[in-house]
Amino acid sequence: MLSYILRRIVATLPVMAIVALFVFSLLYIAPGDPAVVIAGDQASPEDVERIRQSLGLDRPFLVQFGSWVWRILHGDLGTSIFTNLPVSAMIGQRLGPTLSLMIVTLLLTIVVAVPLGVVAAWKAGSLIDRVIMGFAVFGFSLPVFVVGYMLAYVFALELEWLPVQGYTPLTQGLWPWLENLILPAIALGCVYIALVARITRAAMLEVLQQDYIRTAKAKGLGQGGILFIHALKNAAVPIVTVIGIGIALLIGGAVVTESVFAIPGLGRLTIDAILRRDYPVIQGIVLLFSFVYVLVNLMIDVTYTLVDPRIRY
Amino acid sequence: MDRRTVLKGLAGAGGLALTGGLSAPAIAQGAAARTLRFVPQANLANFDPIWGTQYVVRNAAAMVWDTLYGIDSSFQPQRQMVESEEVTDDGTTWTFKLRPGLKFHDGAPVLSKDVVASLTRWSARDPMGLMIKALQQELTAVDDRTFKWVLKQPFPKMLYALGKNNSPCAFIMPERIAQTDPFKQISEYVGSGPLKFAKSEWVPGAKAVFEKFADYSPRQEKPSWLAGGKQVMVDRVEWVIMPDPATAAAALQNGEIDWWENPIADLVPVLKKNKNISVDIGDPLGNVGSFRMNFLYPPFNDVKARRAVLMALSQEDYMRAIVGDDNSLWKPLPGYFTPDTPLYTEVGGEILKGKRDLDAAKKLLAESGYSGQPVTCLVAQDQPITKAMGDVTADLLKKLGMNVDFVATDWGTVGSRRAQKTPPGQGGWNMFHTWHAGADCVNPAPYTAIRANGDKAWFGWPTSAGTEKEVASWFEAKNLDEEKAAIGRLNKAAIDDVVYAPTGFFLSYTAWRKNVSGVTKGPLPLFWGVSKSA
């Protein structure tokens, strides 16, 4: 197992290198110029050119790429063109809110979606099943920002139960941290809950047809034990896979959710950096996201061995 | 660790959360009242007001750095950091004396050498500064509080230049910071103004914090825009960046923020209905909408084609597309200068007034030799103002019988593509949309967009000898009457040659909670005199 994990980690290196080259090339050929944004509307073309020179943006592609890779290899993601702050520090400032949002959403999804999927499969074809699947279609169809606005209107503006926006670090208390994340997590989690609930239902339906389930029922085992101990464990592989894939969905969804709820996370940092053409920040974030995604895939593969003893690496 | 231990831990954590055991202590009411939470127009992405000239940087910098003079609400420069000034009879030697007791945020006194370094950096980037620099013989510190600027020729607008609120302003920084190359960003933010920048709390894109500077020495006069006594009434000003207008509106209604600089027109009716919120025009100088035509390539290298467009365009269409049905938010603008300011004029603006004559415009366009070639029209879709104007322009050009190549893109792309002088089919363009702050259109000094000196002019590179002649006349004018006469001639020349197409004058609202008092109208949000009750 350990050698497998090590092999997989080593295998991420060429993936990261390809991502790095791809992102750098894409940004190089994309239209837009950060020097123009910095200089402002009143600046002369000469001013813009001086700023480009001072930022090193006038150097040839290979020179720029080479110096960027050299810095990366030394653990330096560079400095933001606009803020003059290290990219790693900017990512560090934003990691907490995004991580918090993703963790709360993930927990919410597992707690809500898996039981819903199990119950829907258990009551397949009944009204309960149709209601749950109807909810899943609804959740899947509604854009994150629509759900976000609706939640903010009802729970923040009308009922005044929760804040509309912002983020409080966990260090300032569990509830202050959580109260800022409940609405965003529900908004972001809707699609995810729908997806996981449907997959859970499908996987459970297949497992519930198996002979050993019939045997368990014949032996007089309780319904809860059959569903959650015997059936769910055997249906877990596709569910774990979808939860893993869903993390990519969460990263994408976080961009919108963080804007709607004014959470200072990586999603907003990404959008701001793209709109301003802050190349070092964009490159740093994309590299980070790629790394996280590769890592999550590895974790999923490892998790398979925990839920299915037949899988060995 | 066994299952029971985990469960006990979770139960304990949940209990603590419910009872508030892990909660941070509630902020005392007094402390909350001393913090003003403000949503600015945009993200404070950098904080060097000379290197980056965006308005949002200027607005933040005006809290942190003071200026030698400040323009007041009657557009007159008033002494700010300066105690007195003298100018020789020939107008070439200016001697300034600083007020006593001025301090930087690190406690060091403000000295003449700091001013000299600051003005040197500023004059390398600012259009008026560059004009002074071109005339400069020497800029020297005479003693700790006195400095001298010796010119080869008189520059009558010297005090205006030092006090203007257009970006970049002549902010005074410590010498060691001001010696930074003007094309490189500073990394230390030691100010001279009434509020300190809390760099450690700065999260670009999310939050910027400014704290009251206890040792600031305000003037005794009443505050008026950037002039007068800048008395700060709160301990902290927190800028909370909110990219989504609906979120900002909800946060203001919920009392999570105190002041929102520029609510969008669509949300203003909701805010006006809320009994806890005040809504009023924020910047009385508003904005001038515009689109620029490229003088280098057909069809707009021919003045007849440019006039045809001007003859057909309806400013009302543009303004309604931007501000909706609120008539108090816009005015027609048959000229180039900001309405309700001393130099406003409509001389020569007849082509923009009255019923629009599409047939005459079509005829004029045909006379220009236009033969159906594509007109590349750049429209930034991520800016509501340019998007609205772009849609109106596309319709207008089609009605004129033009073949529109509508390039829907983002502002960053427009920003770089508009600098391209290549033909429209090869990466260049024929027209793009933008807008100018009314504060930049009060006179020709900060008004880059009105300049028509060909290759050196702003994007579109207009050439209009008459316009340039009258810009020079304004700079040489010795009194307001002479200035007005020059501006009248300038307006006519610029419209005759269609330096650019003004699409109208529009205002925007600002909104704040009623427990905040002292919000005043100005060309930028002014934080002195603003207080907040619990």
CATH number assigned to the domain comprising residue B481: 3.10.105.10
With an 8 Å Cβ cutoff, are B53 and A40 in contact? Answer: yes
How much is the ipTM here?
A: 0.83
Can you tell me the distance from the alpha carbon of A303 to that of A296, in angstroms, rounded to the nearest whole number? 10
- pLDDT confidence tier of residue A203, bands split at 50, 70 and 90: very high
Judged against a pLDDT cut of 70, whether residue B20 lies above it is answered with no
With an 8 Å Cβ cutoff, are A264 and B205 in contact? Answer: yes
Mean predicted confidence (pLDDT) in B343-356: 96
Judged against a pLDDT cut of 90, whether residue A274 lies above it is answered with no
Contacts of A272 in chain B (CB under 8 A): 43, 45, 204-205, 243
Report yes or no on A170 lying in a domain: yes
Q: Inter-axis angle of helices A87-122 and A266-276, to 10 degrees?
A: 130
Residue among A105, A111, A113 nearest A136 (CA): A113
Residue among B145, B153, B136 nearest B172 (CA): B145
Residue among B462, B421, B428 nearest B336 (CA): B462
Domain range for A79: 2-87
Q: Which residue of B has its CA nearest to A53?
A: B183
Can you tell me the distance from the alpha carbon of B311 to that of B332, in angstroms, rounded to the nearest whole number? 14
Q: Are B518 and B36 in contact (CB under 8 A)?
A: no
- Please state whether the predicted TM-score (pTM) of the whole model is above 0.95: no
B35 Cβ contact list (under 8 Å, min separation 6): B234, B235, B236, B237, B238, B532
Report yes or no on B484 lying in a domain: yes
Can you tell me the distance from the alpha carbon of B190 to that of B177, in angstroms, rounded to the nearest whole number? 8
Interior CA angle at B235 toward B233 and B237, to 5°? 95
CATH code at position B224: 3.40.190.10
With an 8 Å Cβ cutoff, are A264 and B52 in contact? Answer: no
Is the Cβ of B408 closer than 8 Å to some Cβ of chain A?
A: no
Contacts of B243 in chain A (CB under 8 A): 259, 262, 268, 271-272
Q: Do A72 and A112 lie in a common domain?
A: no
Q: Do A130 and A56 lie in a common domain?
A: no
Contacts of B411 in chain A (CB under 8 A): 275
Report yes or no on B268 lying in a domain: no
Mean predicted confidence (pLDDT) in A260-283: 91
Scored b (16 or more CB within 10 A) or e, A49-87 reads: bbbbebbebeeeeeebbeebeeebeeeebbbbbbbbbbb
SS3 A291: helix
B463 Cβ contact list (under 8 Å, min separation 6): B295, B452, B453, B454, B457, B497
With an 8 Å Cβ cutoff, are A272 and B183 in contact? Answer: no
Q: Do A225 and A301 lie in a common domain?
A: yes
Residue A164 has its nearest CB partner, among B247, B409, B417, at B247
Domain range for B404: 284-508
Report yes or no on A312 lying in a domain: no
Can you tell me the distance from the alpha carbon of A27 to that of A274, in angstroms, rounded to the nearest whole number? 9
Is the Cβ of B13 closer than 8 Å to some Cβ of chain A?
A: yes
Can you tell me the distance from the alpha carbon of B443 to that of B466, in angstroms, rounded to the nearest whole number? 16
pLDDT of residue A46: 79
CA distances (Å), B123 to each of A108, B131, B167, B181, in order? 57, 8, 12, 12
SS3 B287: strand
Judged against a pLDDT cut of 50, whether residue A82 lies above it is answered with yes
| Number of structural domains chain B divides into | 2
Q: Do B348 and B477 lie in a common domain?
A: yes
Contacts of B10 in chain A (CB under 8 A): none
Contacts of B427 in chain A (CB under 8 A): none
Final residue of a structural domain among A57, A87, A117: A87
CA distances (Å), A35 to each of A40, B167, B382, B457, in order? 9, 16, 19, 18
B401 Cβ contact list (under 8 Å, min separation 6): B362, B365
pLDDT of residue B30: 66
Q: Are B151 and B171 in contact (CB under 8 A)?
A: no
Task: Give, for B212, the enclosing helix (H) or strand (E).
Answer: strand B207-212
Scored b (16 or more CB within 10 A) or e, B57-77 reads: bbbbbbbbbbbbbbbbbebeb
pLDDT tens-place string over residues B275-324: 999 999 999 999 999 999 999 999 999 999 999 999 999 999 999 999 99
Final residue of a structural domain among A30, A65, A87: A87
- The alpha carbon of residue B101 is apart from the nearest alpha carbon of chain A, in Å, by 32
Q: Are B371 and B322 in contact (CB under 8 A)?
A: no
With an 8 Å Cβ cutoff, are B415 and A166 in contact? Answer: no
Judged against a pLDDT cut of 60, whether residue B27 lies above it is answered with no
Is the Cβ of A92 closer than 8 Å to some Cβ of chain B?
A: no
Can you tell me the distance from the alpha carbon of A297 to that of A290, in angstroms, rounded to the nearest whole number? 11
Q: Do A66 and A120 lie in a common domain?
A: no
Listed by number, the residues of chain B in 228-267 with a beta carbon closer than 8 Å to a beta carbon of chain A are: 240-244, 246-248, 250-251, 253-254, 256
- The alpha carbon of residue B202 is apart from the nearest alpha carbon of chain A, in Å, by 10
With an 8 Å Cβ cutoff, are B242 and A153 in contact? Answer: no
The amino acid at residue B246 is A
With an 8 Å Cβ cutoff, are B247 and A163 in contact? Answer: no
Mean predicted confidence (pLDDT) in B166-189: 95
Q: Are B246 and A149 in contact (CB under 8 A)?
A: yes
Contacts of B206 in chain A (CB under 8 A): 93-94, 262, 264, 268
pLDDT tens-place string over residues A25-59: 888 777 778 887 777 776 777 788 888 888 888 88
Which residues on adjacent β-strands are paired with residue B404?
B375
Listed by number, the residues of chain A in 223-242 with a beta carbon closer than 8 Å to a beta carbon of chain B are: none
Q: Do A147 and A27 lie in a common domain?
A: no
Listed by number, the residues of chain B in 369-398 with a beta carbon closer than 8 Å to a beta carbon of chain A are: 382
pLDDT tens-place string over residues B401-425: 999 999 998 887 888 788 889 999 8
The overall average pLDDT reported for chain B is 92
Is the Cβ of A29 closer than 8 Å to some Cβ of chain B?
A: no
Contacts of B42 in chain A (CB under 8 A): none
Is the Cβ of A42 closer than 8 Å to some Cβ of chain B?
A: yes
Final residue of a structural domain among A64, A87, A110: A87
Report yes or no on A276 lying in a domain: yes
Contacts of B242 in chain A (CB under 8 A): 165, 262
| Number of structural domains chain A divides into | 2
Is the Cβ of A88 closer than 8 Å to some Cβ of chain B?
A: no
Report yes or no on B270 lying in a domain: no
With an 8 Å Cβ cutoff, are A175 and B456 in contact? Answer: no
Mean predicted confidence (pLDDT) in A153-179: 94
With an 8 Å Cβ cutoff, are A175 and B254 in contact? Answer: no
Can you tell me the distance from the alpha carbon of B265 to that of B278, in angstroms, rounded to the nearest whole number? 15
Report yes or no on A142 lying in a domain: yes
Is the Cβ of B274 closer than 8 Å to some Cβ of chain A?
A: no
Q: Output the DSSP codes for B345-403.
A: --TT-GGGSSS--HHHHHHHHHHTT--S-EEEEEEETTSHHHHHHHHHHHHHHHHTT-E
Residue B24 has its nearest CB partner, among A38, A50, A172, at A172
B405 Cβ contact list (under 8 Å, min separation 6): B374, B375, B376, B377, B424, B430
Q: Do A289 and A196 lie in a common domain?
A: yes
- The alpha carbon of residue B177 is apart from the nearest alpha carbon of chain A, in Å, by 15
Residue B415 has its nearest CB partner, among A32, A50, A53, at A32
Report yes or no on A20 lying in a domain: yes
Judged against a pLDDT cut of 70, whether residue B46 lies above it is answered with yes
- The alpha carbon of residue A224 is apart from the nearest alpha carbon of chain B, in Å, by 20
pLDDT of residue B7: 32
